[in-house]
Amino acid sequence: MALYESEHTKFMREWMEKHPEQKGEQQQGRALWWDKPQDAETRTRQNAAKVPPKPYYYQTDN
């Protein structure tokens, strides 16, 4: 059974094969937006500050 591969994925694979110099730029872009250092203390404070959602989202009375 063959796995599905989208046209976009095929295009990107071919593009990266033809333009290997783009690998470094791709990694820089990922580091800019996604690969951020994690701070355990900040994450703990954020988790403690979360407000649980209401059981019924559209309920307006408290």
Q: What confidence tens digit (pLDDT) does each residue in 3-54 have?
A: 899 999 999 999 999 999 999 998 888 888 888 888 899 999 999 999 988 7
Q: In the structure, what pLDDT confidence band is assigned to residue 59 with cuts at 50, 70 and 90?
A: confident
Q: Other C-beta atoms within 10 Å of 34: how many?
A: 7
- How far is CA 62 from each of CA 25, 32, 48, 51, 52, rounded to the nearest angstrom? 50, 41, 22, 14, 13
Domain count for the chain: 1
pLDDT at residue number 14: 96
Residue 55 lies in a domain: no
Model pTM?
A: 0.47
Range of the domain at 35: 7-49
Confirm whether 29 is domain-assigned: yes
In a domain, 12, yes or no: yes
